[in-house]
Structure 1
């Protein structure tokens, strides 16, 4: 069977932890992807108004989904910087390909999204929202205007986050690469390319199965 994501959703290096002083995770509601009786994503028809909206061009200030995918595809085999490098990889794709600007602030605060390197790249320092999935999710919603979208309306370059049952917050993030036989994903994981359906099937029936998956559409570059 294909190994899709790490069997362990907990981070030994602390990158999956959140700063509880900033409020409970439930403070930001999410909209999980609808699943059918078999636990697979439901293919939902898009309403007429939504179909019309999908034809409208994105404004210049919005995140470049194609740029995010192009960078991720080109650099997916780049060296991992962390034992669990998926959020760091997605942040890089948004920064270099999607042209999302960094935000300064305290390393642990969700409003800050940045990375720094010292001594010719030998020492790295990154904000929690840059490299930890749950902090990243909250940053995108609170400070980048990210909206929840359905699997049917998802576009390349959007962000798919997973939450395992035994984990307090979301702990994995991948990029929607394309829509073909469902959502195809690109990521830093046990498999660089996989699908939403394969990820869910990989853990279905296990005590620490994927309990929730949600798709975010980041809106603001700055």
Structure 2
């Protein structure tokens, strides 16, 4: 679908989504515009728990987070490579994230007589021209393990990722762990969407651990 940047709109959540979201947290649909309905699929990123490590003034804390409540608000769409969070607030429904690889959506902090929260669709930043994304192949190190001739591909490729962000991102997200996790999950959903067409072996990433990177004050 085609979207123009800086488009002000008011997403209308269908009755189907409201019923399913409140009762089971399962997939539903969001009417983004009059002509476009985004079918929501339950996120495949989150496991049952997320290990969260934080560093503040040199003190390290660890927390095992139950992600049940997060799974009821994080959604994806494989057709459009969408990754959004949907939340019901006292003032209405908020949706935030990526509608596709080129456009995002976010709620505006203003009220409306209709009882719905206005949202804005915006163009995502593009990569600068001239960036070469092709990696130069180098000679393998002597200590690098050589692939076995009889090695078999795994049934599912599950890469292990450690996600870290610095204090500037932490301040932007107001130091709230829930916002930090949702921010990361939306990005990881996009990664899954990019590699979803990989068939041999299938690719599936999952969020297991998050570590903010400390600076002099954090």
With the length of structure 1 as denominator, give the TM-score of the two structures: 0.23
The alignment's TM-score, normalised by the length of structure 2, stands at 0.23
Q: Which structure has the larger Rg over C-alpha atoms? A: 2
Decide which structure has greater strand share: 2
